[in-house]
Each structure stands twice: as C-alpha cells, then as structure tokens.
Amino acid sequence: MKHFGFLIFCPLFLLLPSCLLAFPPTAPLILWYEHPAQKWVEAIPVGNGRLGGMVFGGISNEHLQFNEDTLWTGQPHEYQHEGASKHLPQIRQLLFDGKQKEAEDLAMREFMSVPIRQNAYQPFGDVYLFFPDHTNVNHYRRELDLDRAVATVSYQANGVQYSRELFATRPDHVLVWKISADKPAKVNFTIRMESPHKSSRVFTQGEGQLVLNGQVEEGGVRFQSRLKVQASGGHVTASADSVIVEKADSALLVLAAATSLKTYKDITGEPASRCESVIKSVAKKDFERLLAAHLADYQPLFRRVQLDLGQTDATKLPTDERLKRVSQEPDPQLETLYFQFGRYLLIASSRPGGQPANLQGLWNDQLKPPWDSKWTVNINTEMNYWQAEVCNLSECAEPLFDLIDECAITGRKTAQAHYAARGWVLHHNTDIWRGTAPINASNHGIWVTGGAWLCHHLWEHYLFTGDKEFLKRRAYPVMKEAALFFTDFLVKDPRTGKLISGPSNSPEEGGLVMGPTMDHQIVRELFGNTAEAASVLGVDKEFTATLTQMRAEIAPNKIGRYGQLQEWLEDVDDPKNTHRHCSHLWAVYPGSEISPRGTPDLCAAARQSLIFRGDGGTGWSKAWKINFWARFLEGDHAHKMLVEALAGNTFPNLFDAHPPFQIDGNFGGTAGIAEMLLQSHEQEVGRRVIELLPALPTAWTNGSVTGLHARGGFEVDLSWEAGKLKQAKIRSALGHPCQIRYAGKMVWLSTRPGKTYSLDSGLGPA
Ligand code: FUC
C-alpha cells in the first residue's frame, strides 16, 4: 500500500470556482428529429422546475401541452384511519399463524387509508398555433439542445425559413416561445388555448392576451394560465377566444400558469394575481434578455458534469433512428446523451421551492395518468433522486427534502392511528396532500419503510456535502423521528427471537408478511445513520445506544437453499421469479450493507438472486439493474442493461418507457452510468473510499468525465484510454482524508480544503 502526502507532490491544482469549470460540452448534446411528433412521447419536454411544456413541432398545426406542478385532484386531506391500531396485534398474530389471507382481509377492512386511494396529478392546458401559409415544406428539423435547454423547430415553407424557439425559464417563471421568419412580414398565425378540464374557460383580454381559468373539481384547486402575445411588425388582434398575428416579422409568446395551492394544507391562493404579476414582470423584457437570464440560471448547473464516452457516425442520425439501431451497433454518444438528458430532466422538473419530480417528472397530459403520476416511494421517487448528489445537482434534491419534512408531519398521525407508535411513517405512496397511510390494497399497500428509505437521501446529502447545518436542522430531526417509529414498531419474531418488521411486504410481491428482508436492510441503515448523525452532532447518547442495540437484534440477511439472498424470513424464494422489483437487493444499491469486498458471501448470494431475476423488467427495473451490476463491479453486464433500456424501454423523445412513460428509468439510468464510473459508498478505517472506474465496460474504450461528486466532499474528473485509467483529478472541498482505489491498487490521500490532487494510472502523482 502506498501512502503519499500529496500536498508535497502536487500543490498546483487549486480548486477552480465552479463558474470557471462551466465549459460548453465538446460533443453536441442535441436530441433531433426530421418530422413533427405524432404522439406525446415523441414531443420534446422543457421545464423550469415548476412549469413543464411538451412541444410537438407540428407544421401548420403546432401544439404545446403544458403543466404546472401543483395542479392535482382533491383538496387538503388527512388519510389516516383512526382506530386502525386496535387491529394491529391481530393482524400480526394471523401472519405469525400462517393465515395470510385472513390477515390481508382484516387489514383491508380495518387498516387502510381513508379514502383508500390518493389523488392524481393533472394536465393544465394546451396551446395551439395555426399557420395557414406553411405549405411546400422542406428542411424540417426539430431539436432539443441540452446545453441550452432550448427546443427549436425550423423548416422552409414556400421559400421562407421559419423557426420557433421554446424554453422554460426559472428566473422569469414562464415558458417563452419565439416565432420568427427570415423574411419580413411573413409571420402569420392564430393562437388558441384549451384545457382538458371541463370547468375551464378561455377568453381574450386586450389585443394580445389569452386567459384560461378553471377548477379541477368543486372545492378543489383553482388554476389560471395567461398567454401574452407580442409581435414585432405587423399587428395582433383578438377574437373571443383566439389571438391572431398578421404580417409580423416575429412574435414573442410568454406563458404563465399558477394554481391556488399554497401548501399541502392550504389552497386559498389567487392564481389570477399570481399570473398577472408574472406577466407584468416580463412585459418589458425581450427574447434575448429572457434567454440570457435563462442560460445564466441553467448552464452553471448543467455544465458541471461533462461526459465523453466516444462517438461513432451514428451521431449524424436523428435520435429516433439511433434508438432503433442501438441494440445492433455501438453508439456510445447516445449513452452520453441519455446520461445528460437525465440531468437535464432533473433540472427541468425539480428546483428549490417546487414539487419534487413525480412519476412523470412534471410532464403529464392525462386526467387519469398511470398510477396517478404520484410519488411512489417503494422505488420510484427515490430512483428519481439517485443521481442528484453524484451528478452534481445537489440543490435539485431540495424539493424532495421539503416533501420528506411534510410527510414527517402527516406521517406522525399515521404512526399514531395505525401503530400507536411515536415518530412518523410513510407507506408506499404519497400525493400533493402528503398522504402517508397504506393505500390501494393490504397485500402491497402496507409497507412501512417509505419514510425510512427517504431518510437515506437526507443522510447521503450530508455525506456528499458535509453540510452540518443541514444535518442538524433538517436531516437529523426527521431521521430521528423515523428511527423512533421503528423502535416502537419492530417486534420479536417468536421463532428466532430476532426483531422483525411487520405487517409489511417485499414491494409488490408475496403479499402481507412478517419480516421482509428489504425492511430490515432499510431499518438497519436508518438506525446506523441516525446513530452516526447523533454522534457527529454530539446529541442523544441514550437514544443512540438504543438504536445500536436494537440494530444488532434485527433479523440478518440470510442465504437460502439456492445460494440466493432470501427475500423473506423463510427460505421460500422461487428461482423462476423474474419480478421487476428486486427489493431484497436494496442493501447492494442504494444501500451499502452488502458489497463485494465487505461481505463477499452475501454479495455472491445477492448476485445469484439478481441472476434468477434475469435481465428483463420495466424501464425502472432495468435502470436499477444497471446500478446493481455496477456495484457488483461488472461493467459489461451493467452496460448490457443500459443498452437494453435504450433499445427496449425508451420512447423516441428519450423518455423512459415502463411502459407507459415513467421518468424514474431516465434518472436511474443516469445514476447507473455515474455508478459505473465512480463509487464512494465504502469506508476503510473510517476513511472514505473513492473507487475510480469500478465498472468500466469494454464498450467504453476511451473517454472522460468531469465534475462527478463523491461522498466526503470530493469532486472527481477522470480520463481513460484503451480501457485503462489515464488520469484522475480529485478536488477536496472539505479536506477529508480518503483512500483512492483503482484496479486493485490503492493509495491514501490526505487532502486540504479547496485543493486538487492529480493521479496517474498507477495512482502516483501525475
Ligand atoms: C409500482 C411498480 C410499478 C410502477 C408503479 C408506479 O407499483 O411496481 O411497476 O412503477 O409503482
């Protein structure tokens, strides 16, 4: 083992301010198409964290479908089932007695959320543009430039070059759309607005403004959208429900949208005044100014990470064509595009102050979206945020932390009513009203570790950033209460004497049980992390002792008769079971209890379980498998999953196909690519281990990545050639020591805050 005092060897690399690191990407990060979208999953998404748009790029009929992230069915509501806890002992006893059906029936009658279903995220409206003179069209191109977060449609019609540029800007809170032509007075079109909500009304105000008003349901969320039209040259007139632009040189459309939702408990806001003030504040700003503010907001985030996996001639093809070929011909740049598209989508759907990315991010055109486009927390919501820290978008996780804070409040009532327990609990879904009780059906809705899993994100945020204030004020209080719940909830298994979780289930299989493996893995990490947080903060010694003691008594991971990791307490796994959920492998990823070096036997068993599950699965399931194989340090298998996800679970606009569209697979795929390049979940003698290129597939022969984050406050740049590390740069924000590993070699690094350390392929100073 080598040990370098690197400060002596490489004093030259000082940490650059992140704005200086924001270089434009080397390869064009553009999704593009040669024809308009026919279907919604071909349209191009834009978003500013709160407003989302899907643009189809039609020629004589253009369509922009849009969303605002607080438009939901229902109204403020508490979902707990008062008195449910009276039935808890009996449900447990029935399960201990092997009477699963009776237990599920009793739970279905007495233990479920009131009402049994949660509410649904809603579409907001649609804008249509009609261009009567756009005939004889050629040179059509529709694109999304990820580096600028601008969607452009361009073509020639009757010899005039037209273009439409659309972006969603966070600084100005609007969607901005510019329609232009290369010849004067050639911009002629009619604008209409609609909404799928029956209650909605559209009218014009003044010459150039369309207003859409509505209410999702009686007593529910009210909403308004305003579209302001300004033309340069020509004139703008209004009819009762449309705005007409004639003989203009160009036109600028800005769209604001707001609802009456102030918080999950309060829907007394005024959407009209919210929209009015937004429209007023942009009234004097031209397109260039709005665009400059948008780029100044977006690019410093997006450009933090640059990835190059190499490229082939496939980059010359439209994106949908590349997807069709990806299973036959290598297209590493498409994988880069997919990685960066995941980062783009997180920036577009999750910014501080807004809602976290739901099952569809914030893009939804259906009144009854799949699974209500809620936050499903038995995998999906967490997967949405796996990339946030490692892919250098830490602040995009803030809306998730807000949701956790709110569920910790509502979850206290559920903990009381259902389990007579202290602390808070969240079952497998939540909605805008922060429902936390078990929904839908007792055989899968009663799953108690949703809140505990979310707490993992709080702890990880601390590990990556070292932010002690965050740990003290936000993370620890919520983690502590989540842990408190389990100190009351866990029961002794009469057979083994171990502490077990139940009633619960191994997400979505096997029905209601006592003691699913996943719960134990999650609770062990929660107890361990909470105890560590308390010790960092120097608080709660007694509570920490309880957690440590109980943690040791929780039923351990077990290897079953097929050499598999048992999914349940009993050895009942079916090796032919290829279910999409691989919940008992939680401890491999995102947990870190099981690892190739730390626990080789359990790791081999987990690997065997994954082999039994097979390579199939839904979009998110494939994305999870990329991460599992990366943690098993098997880059080629991880890469196989990635290619299969692209070939079989990706819509033409690169949205993940469960199917139907679900955004988790996009985010999980991005996280998986990062996990193949860099891992930092292990510690050795109390020091963070940073493993470089742990699962580099043979397909990525040459490449580089910059700006990935590792736990312990490190930022890492890597380059490799012929499948071997060429150079690594490690910037240390916090000055923590670490151990760097690569291909069986390791070196200890003492670091100083703000310094960068360069290593060569032998891990010597470069
Ligand atoms: C769970 C999963 C489904 C889907 C849904 C949102 O029910 O099993 O595959 O992801 O959540």
Q: For ligand 1, say whether the CB of 508 is within 6 Å of any of its atoms.
A: yes
Contact between 37 and 653 under an 8 Å Cβ cutoff? The reply is: yes
C-alpha 55 – ligand 1 centre gap (Å): 27
Task: Give me the residue label for tokens 């790029």.
Answer: 57
Percent of the chain topping pLDDT 90: 96
Q: For ligand 1, say whether the CB of 644 is within 6 Å of any of its atoms.
A: no
Q: For ligand 1, say whether the CB of 649 is within 6 Å of any of its atoms.
A: no
Q: Is the peptide bond before 356 cis (omega within 30 degrees of 0)?
A: no
Contact between 354 and 69 under an 8 Å Cβ cutoff? The reply is: yes
Which pair of tokens denotes residue 558?
């077990």
Which pair of tokens denotes residue 44?
């191009």
Closest atom of ligand 1 to 621 CA is 9
The four Cα atoms 69, 75, 78, 80 give a dihedral, to 10 degrees, of: -80
Contact between 565 and 608 under an 8 Å Cβ cutoff? The reply is: yes
What Cα–Cα distance (Å) separates residue 400 from each residue in 234, 352, 636? 47, 9, 32
* Residues contacting 437, CB < 8 A, separation 6+: 79, 80, 81, 112, 113, 114, 414, 417, 418, 427
C-alpha 689 – ligand 1 centre gap (Å): 34
pLDDT, tens digit (0-9, with 9 covering 90-100), for 585-641: 999 999 999 999 999 999 999 999 999 999 999 999 999 999 999 999 999 999 999
Q: How many residues does the chain have?
A: 766
| Residue in 360, 578, 618, 622 to alter for ligand 1 test, most ligand atoms within 8 A of Cβ | 618
How far is 63 from 65, CA to CA, in rounded Å? 6
C-alpha 104 – ligand 1 centre gap (Å): 20
Q: Which residue has a Cα nearest atom 7 of ligand 1? A: 508
* Residues contacting 750, CB < 8 A, separation 6+: 5, 6, 7, 737
Contact between 332 and 650 under an 8 Å Cβ cutoff? The reply is: no
| Residue in 508, 583, 661 to alter for ligand 1 test, most ligand atoms within 8 A of Cβ | 508
Closest atom of ligand 1 to 359 CA is 6
C-alpha 508 – ligand 1 centre gap (Å): 8
What is the side-by-side order of every strand in the sheet holding 61-68? 44-47, 51-55, 61-68, 125-130, 187-194, 242-248, 235-238
pLDDT category of residue 15 using cuts at 50, 70 and 90: very low
Residue 72 has pLDDT above 90, yes or no: yes
| Predicted pLDDT at 22 | 53
C-alpha 580 – ligand 1 centre gap (Å): 9
Please report the domains of the chain, with CATH numbers, ordered by start residue: 2-19+687-759 (2.60.40.1180), 23-72+123-304 (2.70.98.50)
How far is 520 from 567, CA to CA, in rounded Å? 11
| Predicted pLDDT at 207 | 85
Q: For ligand 1, say whether the CB of 359 is within 6 Å of any of its atoms.
A: yes
C-alpha 496 – ligand 1 centre gap (Å): 33
Nearest to 701 by CA among 310, 306, 340: 310
Helix ranges (H only) for 491-556 are 517-537, 541-553
**How many CA atoms within 13 Å lie on the side-chain side of 464?**
23
C-alpha 646 – ligand 1 centre gap (Å): 19
Residue 670 has pLDDT above 80, yes or no: yes
Residue 11 has pLDDT above 70, yes or no: no
Q: For ligand 1, say whether the CB of 663 is within 6 Å of any of its atoms.
A: no
Which pair of tokens denotes residue 20?
């200086």
pLDDT, tens digit (0-9, with 9 covering 90-100), for 51-68: 999 999 999 999 999 999
β-bridge pairing 687-692 and 738-742: parallel
C-alpha 691 – ligand 1 centre gap (Å): 32
How far is 47 from 174, CA to CA, in rounded Å? 9
Nearest to 175 by CA among 112, 239, 125, 233: 125
Residue 223 has pLDDT above 50, yes or no: yes
Q: For ligand 1, say whether the CB of 618 is within 6 Å of any of its atoms.
A: yes
Contact between 476 and 536 under an 8 Å Cβ cutoff? The reply is: no
How far is 132 from 135, CA to CA, in rounded Å? 8
| Predicted pLDDT at 26 | 65
Which pair of tokens denotes residue 462?
């601390």
Contact between 595 and 682 under an 8 Å Cβ cutoff? The reply is: yes
C-alpha 588 – ligand 1 centre gap (Å): 20
Q: Which residue has a Cα nearest atom 11 of ligand 1? A: 376
Closest atom of ligand 1 to 662 CA is 10
Q: What is the mean pLDDT of residues 28-46?
A: 97
Nearest to 298 by CA among 168, 152, 165, 151: 168
C-alpha 462 – ligand 1 centre gap (Å): 29
pLDDT, tens digit (0-9, with 9 covering 90-100), for 493-510: 999 999 999 999 999 999
pTM of the model as a whole: 0.96
**Averaged pLDDT score across all residues of the chain:** 96
β-bridge pairing 703-710 and 714-721: antiparallel
Contact between 250 and 232 under an 8 Å Cβ cutoff? The reply is: yes
Query: What residue ranges in 195-234 does DSSP mark as E strands?
Result: 201-205, 209-215, 222-232
Query: What residue ranges in 103-149 does DSSP mark as E strands?
Result: 125-130, 137-145
| Predicted pLDDT at 6 | 37
Nearest to 456 by CA among 403, 380, 521, 522: 522
Q: For ligand 1, say whether the CB of 376 is within 6 Å of any of its atoms.
A: yes
pLDDT, tens digit (0-9, with 9 covering 90-100), for 705-759: 999 999 999 999 999 999 999 999 999 999 999 999 999 999 999 999 999 999 9
Q: For ligand 1, say whether the CB of 380 is within 6 Å of any of its atoms.
A: yes
What Cα–Cα distance (Å) separates residue 424 from each residue in 300, 488, 598? 37, 11, 32
Contact between 220 and 267 under an 8 Å Cβ cutoff? The reply is: yes
Which pair of tokens denotes residue 351?
């910014």
Task: Give me the residue label for tokens 């501080």.
Answer: 352
pLDDT category of residue 93 using cuts at 50, 70 and 90: very high
Residue 533 has pLDDT above 80, yes or no: yes
Residue 170 has pLDDT above 50, yes or no: yes
Name the 3-class secondary structure at 419: helix
Nearest to 111 by CA among 440, 450, 588: 440
pLDDT, tens digit (0-9, with 9 covering 90-100), for 287-335: 999 999 999 999 999 999 999 999 999 999 999 999 999 999 999 999 9
β-bridge pairing 755-760 and 44-47: unpaired
Q: Which residue has a Cα nearest atom 8 of ligand 1? A: 508
C-alpha 265 – ligand 1 centre gap (Å): 27
How far is 231 from 296, CA to CA, in rounded Å? 25
C-alpha 15 – ligand 1 centre gap (Å): 42
| Predicted pLDDT at 14 | 34
C-alpha 491 – ligand 1 centre gap (Å): 28
For residue 707, what is the enclosing H or E element? strand 703-710
Rg value, the chain, Cα: 27
For residue 606, what is the enclosing H or E element? helix 600-613
DSSP summary character for residue 284: T
Q: For ligand 1, say whether the CB of 335 is within 6 Å of any of its atoms.
A: no
How far is 415 from 411, CA to CA, in rounded Å? 6
How far is 734 from 749, CA to CA, in rounded Å? 13
Contact between 233 and 169 under an 8 Å Cβ cutoff? The reply is: no
**How many CA atoms within 13 Å lie on the side-chain side of 123?**
22
C-alpha 536 – ligand 1 centre gap (Å): 37
Q: For ligand 1, say whether the CB of 371 is within 6 Å of any of its atoms.
A: yes
How far is 469 from 398, CA to CA, in rounded Å? 14
Name the 3-class secondary structure at 727: strand
Contact between 514 and 503 under an 8 Å Cβ cutoff? The reply is: yes
How far is 715 from 464, CA to CA, in rounded Å? 10
Helix ranges (H only) for 188-286 are 271-282
Q: For ligand 1, say whether the CB of 505 is within 6 Å of any of its atoms.
A: no
* Residues contacting 745, CB < 8 A, separation 6+: 762, 763
CB atoms within 10 A of CB 722: 7
How far is 207 from 238, CA to CA, in rounded Å? 5
DSSP summary character for residue 158: T
Task: Give me the residue label for tokens 């050629």.
Answer: 138
pLDDT, tens digit (0-9, with 9 covering 90-100), for 357-416: 999 999 999 999 999 999 999 999 999 999 999 999 999 999 999 999 999 999 999 999
Name the 3-class secondary structure at 428: coil
| Predicted pLDDT at 20 | 40
| DSSP state string for 24-52 | PPSS--EEEESS--SSGGGSEEEE-SSEE
Contact between 598 and 682 under an 8 Å Cβ cutoff? The reply is: yes
| Residue in 658, 663, 664 to alter for ligand 1 test, most ligand atoms within 8 A of Cβ | 658
